[in-house]
Amino acid sequence: MKLALLLLLLPLAAQATPCPDWPASRANSELAALSQQIAEWDDAYHNHGRSLVADEIYDQARERLQSWHRCFPTARTALADPLAGSSGTIAHPVPQTGLRKLNDAAVAEWINSRDDLWIQPKVDGVAVTLVYRDGVLRQAISRGDGRLGQDWTARARQLPAIPARLQEPLDAVLQGELYWRLDGHVQGRDGGVGARGKAAGLMARQTLDQQQASAIGLFVWDWPDGPANMSERLQALQRLGFGDSLHYTQPLRNAKEARSWRQRWFDQPQPFASDGVVLRQGTRPSGARWQAEAPHWAIAWKYPAGQALAVVQAVDFSIGRTGRITPILRLQPVDLDERRISRVALGSLQTWEKLDIRPGDQVAIRLAGLTIPRLDQVIWRSPERAIVHAPDPNRYHALSCWRLSSECQQQFQARLNWLAGKQGLNLPGVGPGTWSTLLAGQKLEGLLDWLALDSEHLQQLPGIGPRRASQLQQAFAQAQQRSLQQWLQALGAPAGFQLGAKDDWATLVARSHAEWMQQPGMSQNSAERLLAFFSHPEVQRLGVQLQEAGTVGFLPQENSPRG
């Protein structure tokens, strides 16, 4: 995690996040809970080498905590130093600086106001300081708080990526990133894949086997007291055995080139994960003047987040045609890959019950297939557990809600939508909006009441004039010409059911379980579902209603052409 004391320039969307409508007591409780959660993440990462949450979610959580502190300046919880828990005791010869993270507009402004600029990948690993004396590795120090870190010398000596002796016998302090080696890693396709946590975890161990040691690479991103000129510095690093520094540090003339390199490293295979790019001025102060804080001569430009941290505002429940209950999290809108996300569906009622997500909880959202938002994980829970009333799953099933009632509005309308849609009767110009209008006008109580509506009834409804009424009447008339097979699909007969050559409505409703079992390819479960459907009183009532309306598919075979 980028656990430096960062000067964050937040994106406009983050700045525009509204303040929660909390009384002071709840604000204190919420800020304390989030502060404690972030402290636990910091401790696990710094002191135990474990990354408990994705870096981008960590960054967004700290941004949110800062935002809440601005909303509630009198809250008693102090904004914790993210590095306060680092247990380092070894002083860095040259402090490790943090980096400001700028958004696109701020990056362009920063570039336009400077010269002698260079760009390199922001390698996703753990920072280290290497101290060489007379060309021999004497010390390796973890990032820590930038001033003090842990002694990693013993572990560093085990890593083939860190030369025990330089090509030249000189004194040097090098700063770089230890990373988990990846083969053909494409950041835009693969994401972070937990690479930083793997590197941190290995460096937290006392000993490494040969395979583990070989899995860690090194990218030297600076030589504080190396040659003053960047080109000379890079050439010297290559002579010392750090060729990646020259290969991955490129000169930069303008913002267009910066965007090009950033996109290239995002789209093309690299041997490491990276979460953005670093822009540096070639000329900067000597190492003696560096401090453990964000400098003015280097910034970070991160890649678009693959995950977004979202506040759950409410939990809704959608009831579908078959009675399936789908929980839907209503979110405080967040931006993800240039899309604004305000809702995400969970897979099932059981999933929601297991996760126990309530309003006020914070969740990580990502896009599946680059289009569909999905829940990745619950990040933390609000200390105040709001009450959520979920529908009774025993109340809804494939044979419930054939009539409109207060409890059946969703499933009933879902039945109507299916009935008129392509998978059902395929009625032209009839869709969810049509049914919503009819329901709002109290023209429907049963699933087929629309068959009896004439032009006069339809024109009584808002938005339906003579022309629209005529179109609907024509569509409703087409429904009466549909085949029995189409009607059964529209009414929700078990999936995959196909009429036999001699089947008609009367035969189907009279068929026993034993007779269903005699049908070709029939299983026990299929027979039970078909018997339940055709013997259900509401289904039989609908059949009678369609017969009385003269619907072709429901007339006896001698009176009805089969189509």
| Rounded distance between C-alpha atoms, residue 489 and residue 497, angstroms | 8
Q: Are residues 98 and 146 in contact, defined by beta-carbon separation less than 8 angstroms?
A: yes
pLDDT at 4: 36
- Does 41 have pLDDT greater than 80? yes
Distance from C-alpha of 336 to C-alpha of 513, rounded to nearest angstrom: 52
Q: What is the CATH number of domain 480-563?
A: 1.10.150
State the distance between the two ends of the chain, measured CA to CA, in whole angstroms.
66
Question: What is the pLDDT of the chain when averaged over all its residues?
Answer: 89
pLDDT confidence of residue 536: 97
The CATH class, in words, for 307-392 is mainly beta
pLDDT at residue number 9: 36
pLDDT at 331 over 60: yes
Question: Is residue 431 over pLDDT 90?
Answer: yes
Burial status of residue 208 (CB atoms within 10 A of its CB: 0-12, 13-18, 19 or more): middle
Task: Evaluate if residue 547 carries a pLDDT over 50.
Answer: yes
pLDDT at 153: 95
Residue 110 confidence (pLDDT): 96
In the chain, what percentage of residues exceed pLDDT 70? 93
User: What 3-state class would DSSP assign to 540?
Assistant: helix
Q: Residue 250 — φ and ψ, nearest 5°?
A: -120, 145
d(CA 163, CA 92): 19
Burial of 435-444, coded b for 16+ CB within 10 Å and e otherwise, reads bebbbebebb
Other C-beta atoms closer than 10 Å to the C-beta of 218 total 23
The answer, yes or no, to whether residue 47 has pLDDT greater than 70, is no
Residue 478 has pLDDT above 50, yes or no: yes
Please, how many CA atoms are within 13 Å of residue 356, restricted to the half-sphere of its CB? 8
Task: Quote the pLDDT of residue 56.
Answer: 80
pLDDT at residue 502, as a whole number? 86
Confidence of residue 557 (pLDDT cuts 50, 70, 90): low
Q: Identical fold at 398-479 and 480-563? A: yes
CATH number of 12-71: 1.10.287
Of 122, 198, 302, 502, which one is the catalytic site residue? Answer: 122
Tell whether the model's pLDDT for residue 119 goes beyond 90. Answer: yes
The residues spanned by each domain of the chain are 12-71, 90-302, 307-392, 398-479, 480-563
Instruction: Say if residue 38's pLDDT is above 60.
Output: yes
Average pLDDT over residues 538-542: 96
pLDDT at 348 over 80: yes
Residue that has been written with the tokens 């009429």 in this structure: 499
pLDDT at 50 over 90: no
Name the CATH superfamily, with its identifier, for domain 90-302: DNA ligase/mRNA capping enzyme (3.30.470.30)
* Mean pLDDT, residues 225-247: 94
Q: What is the mean pLDDT of residues 227-246?
A: 95
- Flag whether pLDDT at 44 surpasses 70: yes
In this predicted structure, the answer to whether residue 43 has a pLDDT above a threshold of 90 is: no
pLDDT tens across 60-87, in order? 898 889 889 889 988 766 655 555 555 5
In the predicted model, what is the mean pLDDT of residues 14-20?
66
CB–CB of 40/34 below 8 Å? no
For residue 10, name the pLDDT band (cuts at 50, 70, 90): very low
**Cα atoms in the Cβ-side hemisphere of radius 13 Å centred on 179:** 24
> Are the C-beta atoms of 46 and 203 separated by less than 8 Å?
no
**Phi and psi angles of residue 43, each rounded to the nearest 5 degrees, phi first:** -65, -45
Mean of pLDDT values over 471-489: 94
- Based on the residue annotation, tell me whether 122 is a catalytic residue of this protein: yes
398-479 architecture in CATH? Orthogonal Bundle (1.10)
Higher pLDDT, 305 or 163: 163
Q: Which of 197-206, 247-256, 285-294, 356-365 has the lowest mean pLDDT?
A: 197-206
Query: Highest mean pLDDT: which of 12-16, 285-289, 369-373?
Result: 285-289
